[in-house]
Chain A
Amino acid sequence: MARKISYQQAINEALEQEMRRDPTVFLMGEDNAGGAGAPGEQDAWGGVLGVTKGLYHKFPGRVLDTPLSEIGYVGAAVGAAARGTRPVCELMFVDFAGCCLDQILNQAAKFRYMFGGKAVTPLVLRTMVGAGLRAAAQHSQMLTAWWTHIPGLKVVCPATPYDAKGLLIQAIRDNDPVIFCEHKLLYGMQGEVPEESYAIPFGEASFLREGNDVSLITYGRMVHLAMEAAANLARQGVSCEVLDLRTTSPLDRDSILESVEKTGRAVVIDEANPRCSVATDIAALLAEQAFDDLRAPVQLVTAPHTPVPFSDALEDLYIPDAAKIERAVLKIAQGRQAA
């Protein structure tokens, strides 16, 4: 049996292996090292949820705690990247992006273009995303679509420990700014992860399950709910294909079209709010380029157009679940035998 580690350990291992491989890689962020005002040596939290734990001691001087000022330290990371290092900068919650948006939107994402390719910005911005931790409206959002909308950024959303390691290694080696979205509910998830280093190229979706009737297209934590729905639907005789996009920018359009060409039916599942989202982007792609393959309207399963509620009951209702995915599939799977 291959070794199993958690999503969180997979991220930690990717950071450690890349820091050993490349002396220009370093970490910075709030509480990345010591946390809570401690010097680090004795009380190394390793991030608010312990993702970077242990690295402070292994790499003296390369795990930096920053002041609570996103615009300052994210800007510093962007500058350090442009000057030839490979910072992995942590924005604790993606919800804080508003505080440093100019550094990302107008600086990091634009350098390569505005300097005619003479500057590159090999920055990784690691950030926690997603709902389900009872963390309310300002610590639970899924803002993937924001980043995906901006040319010059690459956007990664790993769903498994295996992908988390391989995509983070690729992100660190990549010469463009990468927004690396870590779903907080996945940190404890266990999965098989090789001990060796490996990089997963961006823009390559992963087929987690093959099927003939309906394509379930998704990314991030929703991948697991889609797999659960697909397993339940298989018992009812509906065969679903599950496609994990892994990166929303670049987007693996070929795999999406290839899958829908076969199934003729698509359900896109996105934890984000429904307007101007990754889900609507894929629906538009299918309407534009796969219209003749479609045998039923594309279905979107997303959060509603509201903030993430604080009430447990309402938050559970807010997040898409397997039952909602199954209903969406069954709505368009009728009549598939005749097709």
Chain B
Amino acid sequence: MSQIHTLTMPKWGLSMSEGRVNAWLKAEGDTIAKGDEVLDVETDKISSSVEAPFSGTLRRCLAREDETLAVGALLAIVVEGDASDAEIDAVIACFQENFVPGGEDAADAGPQAQRIELDGRPLRYLERGTGGLPLVLIHGFSGDLDNWLFNHEALAAERRVIALDLPGHGQSGKTLATGDLAELGAAVLALLDHLDIPRAVLVGHSMGGAVALQLAQTAPQRVAGLVLIGSAGLGAEINGDYLEGFVAATSRNQLKGPVSLLFSDPGLVTRPLLEDLLKYKRLEGVDGALRQLAGNLFPNGRQAQVLREVLGGDLPALVIWGKADAIIPVQHAAGLPAAVQVERLDGQGHMVQMEAADRVNTLIHAFLSRCNA
């Protein structure tokens, strides 16, 4: 049986309405597997690769290089099995006839982030996918749920995946009480309760990894597995200059140096990216929240809490690190118990889940089969 798939312009982030095709990474006639990178696309905020959500033969590349296309526009035709050119032409004609570039409407389509009140504080989360053992994505210091832009949808193909804005971050409430891992972890647990999720696999990046470790320690019955990416909580070292520079920065140019440390490709640190970070930093309460968290968790450029012992037991754990991480050193991945799967990615920095999204998603997919509900 054959199936004709349409590969369309993805939507990365709520504000994306169009993308520019930078380069085709596959050619017509190539066999592609699900998850393969097919082409590079650039938006005004970010550039990344489009992965095939299905396997098959790349029969038609419809978008030209350097062409700018609306979200949802047809990029390519991938065929599983056999299909005649006439059948493909018919699918293309039907698609083009029905496709309406959405503009503002497209920006509103797709899954919507929810904002709820938990323990008297607004909390934003975004849920995708259904079934399976749920996955919770926990961002790092000064991040938000958009840090999982290139992971969320791919991971949600076979399960329910929730990303949240931690207290003090994104569009959640900015006022912190104790401003420590316990408070951040309690917010994650409160969200799990709200969503009736008894057990989940926690995926934590950087400070979010320390939150996940803390939860595995204090509420082990709720945690079915841990994925720790460039994680805090596994050693004392952290780049204090980065933290200090990021917290103190009040302009685009002051922010550029610290933020460049996060990525292995400095070209990703665009001015729109910096402006989005400034927008967050200028919200009332954010400066105080960041200083409070940094002061409690990373005083004097050291991590206050090391939670390596959490990884000693039966809890399945996957640790992913960019070898060129300039924020938290990859050395923290050494010397962990043998049962912990450790993956060090060449040339990658701290934002490895964004810059090597495909590798990270594949590793997490494979790891999940080891976790039990």
Do B283 and A198 touch (CB < 8 A)? yes
Q: Is residue A234 contacting chain B, with contact meaning CB distance below 8 A? A: yes
* Cβ distance B279 to chain A, nearest Cβ, rounded Å: 7
Task: Tell me, rounded to whole Å, the shortest Cβ–Cβ distance linking A184 to chain B.
Answer: 22
Name the B residues within 8 Å of A136 (CB-CB). Answer: none
Residue of B nearest to A230 (CB): B44
Instruction: Tell me, in angstroms, the Cα distance from A198 to B251 when the chains sit together.
Output: 14
| Segment with Cβ contacts to A, from B80-88, B223-231, B269-277, B364-372 | B269-277
Decide: A166 and B68 in contact? CB cutoff 8 A: no
Asked whether any CB of chain A lies closer than 8 Å to the CB of B355, the reply is: no
Contact of B68 with A196 in the complex, beta carbons under 8 Å:
no
Tell whether, in the assembled complex, residue B251 and residue A234 are in contact, meaning their CB atoms are under 8 Å apart. no
Taking the complex as formed, is A135 at the interface, i.e. its CB lies under 8 A from any CB of chain B? no
Within 8 A of A (CB), among B254-287: 270-272, 275, 279, 282-285
Of A207, A237, A254, the residue contacting B271 (CB under 8 A) is A207
Q: CB-nearest residue of chain B relative to A199?
A: B282
Are A204 and B113 touching (Cβ within 8 A)?
no
* Inter-chain contact A196/B272, CB cutoff 8 Å: no
In the bound complex, residues from chain B placing their C-beta under 8 Å from that of A254 are: 253
Contacts of A162 in B (CB 8 A): 279
A53 at the interface (CB under 8 A from B): no
Q: Which residues of B contact A204 (CB under 8 A)?
A: 251-252
**Residue A2 lies at the interface, judged by CB distance under 8 Å to chain B:** yes
Is B66 engaged at the interface, CB distance under 8 Å to the other chain? yes
Given A1-B112, A235-B68, the answer on whether A206 and B284 have CB atoms closer than 8 Å is no
Q: B272 contacts A210, CB within 8 Å?
A: yes
Which residues of A have CB within 8 Å of B113?
Answer: 1
Please, could you name 19 A-B residue pairs with CB atoms under 8 Å apart, sorted by A? Answer: A1-B108, A2-B14, A162-B279, A192-B15, A194-B283, A196-B174, A196-B283, A197-B283, A198-B283, A198-B284, A200-B282, A201-B251, A207-B275, A209-B272, A210-B44, A234-B20, A235-B68, A237-B66, A254-B253
Say yes or no: is B171 at the interface (Cβ < 8 Å to chain A).
Answer: yes
Residues of A within 8 A of B (CB): 1-2, 162, 166, 192, 194, 196-201, 204, 206-210, 231, 234-235, 237, 254
B253 surroundings in chain A (CB, below 8 A)? 254
The answer to whether A198 and B67 have CB atoms under 8 Å apart is: no
Whether a CB of chain A sits under 8 angstroms from the CB of B250 is: yes
Determine whether the beta carbon of B171 is less than 8 Å from that of A2: yes
What are the 9 A-B residue pairs with the smallest beta carbon separation, nearest first?
A: A207-B271, A197-B284, A198-B282, A196-B283, A196-B284, A234-B68, A198-B283, A209-B44, A235-B68
Contact B14–A210 (Cβ < 8 Å): no
Please name all residues of chain B whose beta carbon is closer than 8 Å to the beta carbon of A200 when the two chains form the complex: 282
Q: Bound complex: CA of A301 vs CA of B144, how far in Å?
A: 40
Which residue on chain B has the smallest CB distance to residue A190? B104
B358 at the binding interface (Cβ < 8 Å)? no
In the complex, the chain A residue whose C-beta lies closest to that of B115 is A3
Find chain B residues with CB under 8 A from A201 CB: 250-251
Chain A contacts of B67 at CB under 8 A?
A: 235
Which partner residue on chain B sits nearest A21 by CB separation? B284
Nearest opposing residue in chain B for A170, CB measure = B282
B68: chain A residues within 8 A (beta carbon): 231, 234-235
**Other contacts beyond A2-B171, A166-B282, A201-B250: 20, CB < 8 A:** A1-B112, A192-B15, A194-B283, A196-B174, A196-B283, A196-B284, A197-B283, A198-B282, A204-B251, A207-B271, A207-B272, A208-B44, A210-B44, A210-B272, A231-B18, A234-B20, A235-B67, A235-B68, A237-B66, A254-B253
Per DSSP, chain B at the interface is loop
> Chain B nearest CB: distance from A203 CB in Å?
10
**Size bin of chain B's contact surface:** 20 to 34
Interfacial chain B residues near A197, Cβ < 8 Å: 283-284
Which chain B positions have C-beta within 8 A of A207?
A: 271-272, 275
Q: How many Å lie between the Cα of A196 and that of B279 in the bound state?
A: 11
Residues A194 and B171 in contact, CB atoms below 8 Å apart: yes
Find chain A residues with CB under 8 A from B44 CB: 208-210
Given A196-B285, A198-B283, A231-B68, answer yes or no on A210-B270 (Cβ-Cβ < 8 Å): yes
Smallest CB–CB gap between B222 and chain A, Å?
A: 29
In the complex the two chains form, what is the Cα distance from A197 to B67 in whole Å? 39
Q: How far is the CA of A198 from the CA of B287 in the complex (A)?
A: 11
User: Which chain A positions have C-beta within 8 A of B14?
Assistant: 1-2
In B30-71, the 8 Å CB interface with A consists of 44, 66-68
B14 closest partner in A (C-beta):
A1
* Complex interface: chain A residues within 8 A of B20 (CB): 234
Task: Render B100-130 as a binary contact track against A, CB cut-off 8 A, 1 for contact.
Answer: 0000000010001100000000000000000
A196 to B115, CA, bound (A): 14
- Given the complex of chains A and B, what is the CA–CA distance between A83 and B159 in angstroms? 63
Q: Which residue of B lies closest to A166 (CB)?
A: B282
Distance from B121 Cβ to chain A, minimum over Cβ atoms (Å): 13
Taken together as a complex, chains A and B put the C-alpha atoms of A166 and B108 apart, in Å, by 24
The smallest C-beta distance from B275 to any residue of chain A, in angstroms, reads 6
A199 to B282, CA, bound (A): 7
CA distance A196 to B171 in the complex (A): 9
Contacts of A235 in B (CB 8 A): 67-68
Within the complex, the shortest CB–CB distance from B225 to chain A, in Å, comes to: 31
B:217-255 near A, CB below 8 Å: 250-253
A108 vs B13: C-alpha distance when bound (angstroms): 45
Interface centre among A198, A231, A254 (most CB of B within 10 A): A198
| Distance in Å: Cβ of A188 to nearest Cβ of chain B | 14
- Chain A residues, Cβ within 8 Å of B285: 196
Q: What residues of A have a CB within 8 angstroms of the CB of B66 in the complex?
A: 237
B275 contact set on A, CB distance < 8 A:
206-207
Look across to chain A and name the residue whose beta carbon is closest to the beta carbon of B107. A1
Provide the bound-state CA to CA distance between A181 and B170, in Å. Answer: 30
A204 to B174, CA, bound (A): 25
Q: Which residues from A are CB-within-8-Å of B271?
A: 207, 210
The 0/1 profile, CB within 8 Å of A marked 1, for residues 331-361 of chain B is: 0000000000000000000000000000000
CB distance from A114 to the nearest CB of B (A): 31
Question: How far is the CB of B286 from the nearest CB of chain A, in Å?
Answer: 8
**C-alpha spacing A177/B228, complex, angstroms:** 52
B98 CB to closest chain A CB (Å) equals 22
User: In the assembled complex, which residues on chain B have CB atoms less than 8 Å from the CB atom of A209?
Assistant: 44, 272
